[in-house]
A and B are shown apart, each in its own frame.
Chain A
């Protein structure tokens, strides 16, 4: 069986770890062997949150440089920062909405133009898909569902062998009951977005 390595990156508070769990559980539901990994502790205090999901006969829980089949970026500069994980064979799905770093907020650095980030990435990888996950999440009824919008885009990209139904079933059973409806709408909007 083929194997797939998915690298996820975002900023603390964006729900990347929940997205990691849903992705992993959906892949299990689809009948795959799955591993995932995450970093806890000091790394989480307002900084970058990285995680990974492996599908198939892989034993190593981390992704070496160049080896991500799919990069899921929840924030544009974090997508760009994680490009070392990608090769010319990778698919990249990125949210286009910046989360302004504090260093930018206080004038110590500047946020680059998002289109410049994406234009470089598009030329380096097999496919780049970008979407405004916040707008779609708002449309779905909860801006907190932006992480689930991103999963919708993963499902429709066909980059990994996990069908839409497996994601939807996982959203029903693994996300908080009062957010299930909004999450399912968010997933659907993300699925239709690219």
Chain B
């Protein structure tokens, strides 16, 4: 049984924030869940994926966040409780349906999880998605702990159904990816089926209806504001004339800092878990009770500005500060240390923190080697880059490389260095068109298979229709590798018990109207180079589908073991072609100079893909122990 399906009540589980959200949804009887994976939200969908196999819950990995939100919305207007999860930038993709779903509302509770990534551990920006609550007019919940994430998720479904509005649920990387103790409550069996009752005046947003629905949204927003003022997740605690207002993970840092600074008796803390619509009556009472307010929040001054507006409209001139010089930055995530330092400075508390060890004081002046992330040994993406790089060199052609989001973005790093432009999912295709038009250069764009389905197809149709000329390389490794090997519409290798139809990428490309479509197996260098050369020598729009499975995923699904080992023989003259052009982590300089070969293959890293022996005569297969024992 999946651990989150335990029927035990009052059981203490050490759960990831994301797991706590799933448990909360299960305790609310969620019947329908959708997502597009993205760090730090992915474990929500991955847990639902496994739970759906053991229960009546319906779950799908949708092709993108807009699709995931619309699919969930369809279930929600049919009276089914549903959850839709995504990373923060995913909500940009889903923003179009979100803004108008807010007008028509839902019947079954709907919770939209947005997992923000302050400090950009695994993202291209650190936008603050709390602002989407204001933009859409939807209620926003922000948990401060794993336990609260579970409790608040459960409450979010009730709030959603009371207001007949979807509810935004915002986490951050730290909340999603920390583990805390969570006490379980009773499970409610999932209800995945509902009834769609027609109400076209509500659900069909022609302008006449939309005008009426916007009014309804504002009315519901006022009800939501009253609920927020009384919500158990919004609290004022502590005594004293100093005020701190906070939300999310920053609350934890505040609690720890107040204890460290021994100022718990001097401060009132306003903690907002139901933070939009802004609970202005509650906030007014808080502001009136203190002499000054420090706002502790990550990224944008959302609470700070709301507090200032409340103070101004209620005629209060209490100082309220948060972001600014000497205070908090709008950049990056907060830490307990930063929060403590700013609290001590602002409230004038004497405090000397523990002095961190500083390796710059080491008189030995040790230079530490870096460990940049790298494509795995045997990764077919490296082969694709190598093939194209080699052919471009042969043809003496320089190219510009728009790229996209996935493991293959690591093609940015040396020695491949084949990434020139990246802004968001799917941008490789359309930006290639723009760069090609504007420069008349050779443009070779890279996109992964899952990203192609996510948002590459419309750009490709545009390129056909508008006559753009570039080469699109679809790096098809048969899975959504970066976020944890989730399936997508084009997969060949299915997870166990998978019975869904697949969509062939090459057929899609042809149907879009691309005339030159070539499929290569990048594990076969010579044949692939010939095909690629032909494509790169022609003009117009072409697509190369470079198809080979992610070896990690392949090994996990098929149980395939390493079949071949390779060694570097005496012919090696240390030309370093392999290091300077290919860059497989298993290919290393030999530091044992008693041996004659100058390169070695690290057997513990090599997966036996047999690429390097195709470009180097000095590398040859050796029999593996497995073969010897047979």
Taking a contact as CB atoms closer than 8 A, the residue among A37, A84, A85 that contacts B177 in the complex is A37
Give A63's nearest chain B residue, CB to CB.
B336
> Which of A117-125, A145-153, A154-162, A183-191 sits within the interface?
A117-125
B515–chain A nearest beta-carbon distance, Å: 36
In this assembly, does B366 line the interface, its C-beta being within 8 Å of a C-beta of chain A? yes
Residues on B with beta carbons closer than 8 Å to the beta carbon of A81: 359, 368
Residues on A with beta carbons closer than 8 Å to the beta carbon of B482: 41-42
In this assembly, does B353 line the interface, its C-beta being within 8 Å of a C-beta of chain A? yes
In this assembly, does A18 line the interface, its C-beta being within 8 Å of a C-beta of chain B? no
Contact A64 B336 (CB under 8 A): yes
B409–chain A nearest beta-carbon distance, Å: 8
In this assembly, does B39 line the interface, its C-beta being within 8 Å of a C-beta of chain A? yes
Extra contacts, 4 of them, besides A37-B179, A125-B357 (Cβ < 8 A), are: A45-B373, A66-B356, A85-B356, A87-B356
B369–chain A nearest beta-carbon distance, Å: 4
13 CB contacts below 8 A, A to B, read: A37-B179, A39-B173, A40-B43, A41-B122, A42-B39, A42-B121, A46-B374, A61-B178, A77-B368, A84-B357, A106-B587, A107-B579, A120-B366
Contact A124 B357 (CB under 8 A): yes
Chain B window 502-539, contacts with chain A (Cβ cutoff 8 Å), 1 for yes, 0 for no: 00000000000000000000000000000000000000
Chain B window 92-117, contacts with chain A (Cβ cutoff 8 Å), 1 for yes, 0 for no: 00000000000000000000000000
Contact B373 A46 (CB under 8 A): yes
Range, interface on chain A: 35 or more
Residues on A with beta carbons closer than 8 Å to the beta carbon of B585: 46, 102, 105
Residues on A with beta carbons closer than 8 Å to the beta carbon of B179: 24, 34-38, 61
Contact B336 A83 (CB under 8 A): no
Contact (A65, B356) CB under 8 Å given A35-B178, A42-B39, A109-B367:
yes
A57 to B340, CA, bound (A): 17
A70 to B13, CA, bound (A): 25
A28 to B43, CA, bound (A): 23
A56 to B622, CA, bound (A): 54
In this assembly, does B371 line the interface, its C-beta being within 8 Å of a C-beta of chain A? yes
Chain B window 151-194, contacts with chain A (Cβ cutoff 8 Å), 1 for yes, 0 for no: 00000000000000000000001100111110000000000000
In this assembly, does A168 line the interface, its C-beta being within 8 Å of a C-beta of chain B? no
Residues on B with beta carbons closer than 8 Å to the beta carbon of A46: 371-374, 376, 585
Q: Which residues of A contact B (CB under 8 A)?
A: 11, 24-25, 28, 33-48, 57-67, 77, 80-81, 83-90, 100-112, 116-117, 120-121, 124-125
Residues on A with beta carbons closer than 8 Å to the beta carbon of B177: 37-40
- Greatest chain B CB density within 10 A among A44, A64, A65, A102 is at A102
Contact B368 A80 (CB under 8 A): yes
Residues on A with beta carbons closer than 8 Å to the beta carbon of B367: 109-110, 112
A38 to B173, CA, bound (A): 10
Contact A84 B358 (CB under 8 A): yes
A73 to B192, CA, bound (A): 47
A40 to B230, CA, bound (A): 36
In this assembly, does B440 line the interface, its C-beta being within 8 Å of a C-beta of chain A? no
Contact B579 A106 (CB under 8 A): yes
Residues on B with beta carbons closer than 8 Å to the beta carbon of A103: 369-372
Taking a contact as CB atoms closer than 8 A, the residue among B336, B371, B374, B587 that contacts A60 in the complex is B336
B482–chain A nearest beta-carbon distance, Å: 7
A112 to B370, CA, bound (A): 12
In this assembly, does B422 line the interface, its C-beta being within 8 Å of a C-beta of chain A? no
A142–chain B nearest beta-carbon distance, Å: 14
A29 to B528, CA, bound (A): 57
> Which of B59-67, B75-83, B249-257 sits within the interface?
B249-257
A81 to B368, CA, bound (A): 8
Residues on B with beta carbons closer than 8 Å to the beta carbon of A45: 373-376, 407, 410
Contact B371 A102 (CB under 8 A): yes
Mark out the residues of chain B between 431 and 483 whose CB falls within 8 Å of any chain A CB in the assembled complex: 482-483
Contact A67 B354 (CB under 8 A): yes
Contact A109 B370 (CB under 8 A): yes
A38 to B39, CA, bound (A): 13
